[in-house]
Structure 1
Amino acid sequence: MLRSRAALGVAFLAVHLWIGLVGTVLIPTKAFWDLDLYRWWMWQGLHQGIWPVLDGDWVYPAGAVVPMLLPGLVDTWDTRTYAVAWTVLITALNALAAWTLLRVAGHRAVTGVWWWLGFIVLLGPVAVGRLDAVVAPLVVTALALALRHPAVASALLTFGAWVKVAPGALLLPLVMIVRRPWRTLVLPAASVCVVIAGIVAAGGGLSHLFSFLGEQGERGLQLESVAATAWVLRGLVDDGVRIWMNDDIITWEIAGPGTATMSGLLGYALPVALAAATGLLFWVRRRAGDQLDHAAFLARSALLIALVLIVANKVGSPQFIGWLAGPVVVGLARPGRESLRSWRVIAVLVLVIAALTQGVFPLAYDAITAGAFGASLLLVARNLLLVVTLVLVTRSLWRMGRSDRVDALSPAAA
């Protein structure tokens, strides 16, 4: 039954219909609130000629206008209609990604797609009702095609970076395993950048092209971030720690002794952590040499980078957890020389993280912002599991470098 593609198709539609129902009918103001903001921006553009990036600084990269505009062509007046159109768009993108994965990996991909559906259900509305929902299918498609069509993967990841930044970092492991990276990776990526920059320049917004970098830099320590965990716990017993709404960027942040320092340090810690992750990947690639299992290396490396971007970030929005889906889906579908068993613990941990994240938002978010004890512990548990998963993925890559090197030097390999 689980291997039946017909059953998989029915489940796929049921999952997306359920999330759409939650976001547009049951709890729209909690689940799909961001979509009203997207609709408003597109209404301004289509009806007043005031476009994000073209006419001022924006919190998102310029490419984010594209997915926001498509449902806006259906309706920018009614939020529910816009939300329905958005849900259809995400469903179509996810379907295309799943179809691509099934075409590339065959019956092995069925396990990965079933896992993905479970992940979407457990993560809940943020798996569909946020901009990051566009990123997940782009990453799945890119990683599925990366070994056979690296130029296509590079273009998809670069466009994804112009939507929400994070996918661009996944080019790092890809650079390490493809031949002629300048031709197959750099040129497609540069072409996408030139097209987007050219469109923005033609619209008169070139001076705002990188404004999203400054917007993010002005943030404080977000309540849900992993780095805020200690202050979330301290706030349960210390009135000197407070949770407040940053009205400028409409985000809940936490403030107390040391939070400003931590926020500033994370501005340096994130690039340092990414550099360390890159160093580990180079080490694994060099140690393993021709014995490297490219499929396993790519999926695990992508998961490592996604986890680093979450754990070492002063922003901790619940939709960031969606970044973990693509690497796990592809890892389960294309395990390379690894067995599916090697992915089992990671896959289960990420599902638990997704479920806890839905518990945090939208289910217990009001209680967390009010400093409630039980709800706050839910957030703490989620953050600790993120750290545990990061450690396990790091260890698995370390072992990949050591074991592949041993295999390569063994008499049997010779």
Structure 2
Amino acid sequence: MTVGGVPEASAPVGRLRRLLGGRTALWGAFGLVHAGLAWLNLAAMGYPLGDVTSVYRLWAENAADGYLRMGIDAPWVYPILAFAPMAASLAFGPEWYGQTWLAIVVILDAIAFAILLGARRLSRTRRLAAWWWVGFLALLGPIALGRIDAVTVPLATTGLLWAAGRPRVAAALLTIAAWVKVWPAALIAALVIALRRRADVVIVAVALSAGILAVSIVAGSGLNVAGFVAEQAGRGLQVESPLAVGWLWQIVGGSSAVEIVYDRDILTFQISGPGADAAAALTTPLMAVGVVAVLLLGIRAARRGAHLGRLLPPLALSFVVVLMLANKVGSPQFATWLAAPVILGLAVKPRRFAVPAVLAAGVALLTHVIYPYWYGWLLAAHPGFVLLLTAKVVLLVLLAVWGIRAVWQSGRAWDRRGPLAA
């Protein structure tokens, strides 16, 4: 039998597809996931919003009371614009700080989500990218909203989506994001390589950065405005970092020479043991080598005429994954960085970006399992959780391999054509 010319058995399937393919379903899922993540941040075990309500709020209150302005009166671990959302979260008083923070992040995500969906007819590619983003956030858990990185992700996502049609606006958004948390600077490098209007990107990034520096110096920061560079350089090997896996397995094996210690200056758990400090020092040159390698591969592809739609998504992904792998910190919130390049890749060509989308979703799920609910098991070097962290590192390595291979292939003659959603 048929219903309206459609086989009866397939009619419910068709209705389901139309329902899930509409904006109402997407916005409904967006709202449900963000409401769930907000609730988890406020109520779940493991104190997932701890950095926000304890550390960020303290910094904001100290500045509001005229006691100490981080990045101005003292060196800080973050770039200077990170203070903007922290200060804004005091708008309704310190007792509502956590809720205000979550509201700010949700609003920023909603703006980026609306830009992803667009105002015109919703394309299949953007619909798939939007569903992936919602699913990625759900898999990642409360850390998706509960750190300063959450402010940068919607800015970075919008910047990449607007790269083709609005390169100056894209450069401005990514520059602002980089002065909140450094990692979007890698996306600016990707734009400079992949775009033909690279001069516009450079001019906007340099001019905006100069303006931010000038305002900070006028406010009295002096060299403290660049203090985040030295603060990061002084960190040890954090327990969640990819390089820490080797030392964690030594603890699992019964080594008494390796232990996990708490650094009260930086408020992180770090590895203490033979070679750990040397490994931490090695991460910076290792990261530089990785970034330069990706940079050279991207330049090669661009010089060979790689199409923007083929080059930019894997190039941005490769930069981000290199920053994650060669990082002495490795905090769980770093997984949020994967969202922007994967969303762009899915919005351009979902089938081509299916593999990294699945791998990134796996990274999100493993991150959620480890943090925040059972984080203590990792700090105790429980074999199961060390295995989970190892699996996460393996997925990141696979993402790096895929991204570098895709960048290389984008410079081949047969692979130079492809769309890029504006």
The answer, yes or no, to whether TM exceeds 0.5 is yes
State which of 36, 40, 58 in structure 1 corresponds to 2:58. Answer: 40
State which of 345, 352, 356 in structure 2 corresponds to 1:342. Answer: 352
Q: Distance in 1 between matches of 2:197 and 2:132?
A: 34
- The answer on whether the counterparts of 1:157 and 1:167 sit within 8 Å (CA) in structure 2 is yes
Moved more, 87-96 or 18-27: 18-27
Q: Distance in 2 between matches of 1:181 and 1:393?
A: 22
- The answer on whether the counterparts of 2:89 and 2:101 sit within 8 Å (CA) in structure 1 is yes
Q: Distance in 1 between matches of 2:234 and 2:115?
A: 39
Deviation for aligned residue 1:180: 4.2
State which of 73, 77, 91 in structure 2 corresponds to 1:55. Answer: 73
Identify the residue that residue 109 of structure 2 maps to in structure 1: 94
State which of 146, 152, 155 in structure 2 corresponds to 1:135. Answer: 152
Identify the residue that residue 359 of structure 1 maps to in structure 2: 369
Q: Distance in 2 between matches of 1:349 and 1:373?
A: 23
Deviation for aligned residue 1:232: 1.4
Give the letter aligned to residue 301 of structure 1.
L
Q: If the length of structure 1 is used for normalisation, what is the TM-score?
A: 0.92
Identify the residue that residue 377 of structure 1 maps to in structure 2: 387
Deviation for aligned residue 1:49: 4.5
Identify the residue that residue 69 of structure 1 maps to in structure 2: 87
CA gap of 1:103–1:363, structure 2 versus 1, over 3 A, is: same
Superposed counterparts of 1:308-323, under 5 Å: 308-323=322-337
- The answer on whether the counterparts of 2:167 and 2:197 sit within 8 Å (CA) in structure 1 is no
Identify the residue that residue 225 of structure 2 maps to in structure 1: 209
- The answer on whether the counterparts of 1:222 and 1:228 sit within 8 Å (CA) in structure 2 is yes
Identify the residue that residue 331 of structure 1 maps to in structure 2: 345
Q: Distance in 2 between matches of 1:323 and 1:44?
A: 29
Q: Distance in 1 between matches of 2:99 and 2:127?
A: 27
Q: Distance in 2 between matches of 1:51 and 1:253?
A: 27
* SS of 1:350 mapped into structure 2: helix
CA gap of 1:180–1:9, structure 2 versus 1, over 3 A, is: closer
Give the letter aligned to residue 110 of structure 2.
A
CA gap of 1:395–1:32, structure 2 versus 1, over 3 A, is: same
Identify the residue that residue 143 of structure 2 maps to in structure 1: 126
- The answer on whether the counterparts of 1:104 and 1:145 sit within 8 Å (CA) in structure 2 is no
Over residues 265-287 of structure 1, what are the superposed CA-to-partner deviations in whole Å (9 max), with x where a residue is unaligned? 11211111100110111111122
Q: Which consecutive residues of structure 2, in runs of 5 or more, have no partner in the other structure? A: 1-18, 417-422
- The answer on whether the counterparts of 1:197 and 1:206 sit within 8 Å (CA) in structure 2 is no
RMSD: 1.5
Over residues 179-226 of structure 1, what are the superposed CA-to-partner deviations in whole Å (9 max), with x where a residue is unaligned? 3422x1122112221221122122111221100000001111111111
Whether 1:198 aligns to 2:214 is yes
Deviation for aligned residue 1:296: 2.8
Q: Distance in 2 between matches of 1:407 and 1:326?
A: 23
Whether 1:282 aligns to 2:293 is no
Identify the residue that residue 252 of structure 2 maps to in structure 1: 236
Deviation for aligned residue 1:387: 0.9
- The answer on whether the counterparts of 1:60 and 1:163 sit within 8 Å (CA) in structure 2 is yes
Bigger helix share: 1
Q: Distance in 2 between matches of 1:84 and 1:40?
A: 15
Give the letter aligned to residue 59 of structure 2.
W
- The answer on whether the counterparts of 2:44 and 2:373 sit within 8 Å (CA) in structure 1 is no
- The answer on whether the counterparts of 2:21 and 2:127 sit within 8 Å (CA) in structure 1 is yes
Whether 1:151 aligns to 2:165 is no
- The answer on whether the counterparts of 2:257 and 2:274 sit within 8 Å (CA) in structure 1 is yes
CA gap of 1:231–1:349, structure 2 versus 1, over 3 A, is: same
* SS of 1:239 mapped into structure 2: coil
- The answer on whether the counterparts of 1:177 and 1:294 sit within 8 Å (CA) in structure 2 is yes
State which of 110, 115, 120 in structure 1 corresponds to 2:132. Answer: 115
Over residues 43-72 of structure 1, what are the superposed CA-to-partner deviations in whole Å (9 max), with x where a residue is unaligned? 111123421112111111001011111111
Whether 1:259 aligns to 2:276 is yes
* SS of 1:152 mapped into structure 2: helix
Give the letter aligned to residue 377 of structure 1.
L
Q: If the length of structure 2 is used for normalisation, what is the TM-score?
A: 0.90
Q: Distance in 2 between matches of 1:362 and 1:24?
A: 12
CA gap of 1:146–1:407, structure 2 versus 1, over 3 A, is: closer
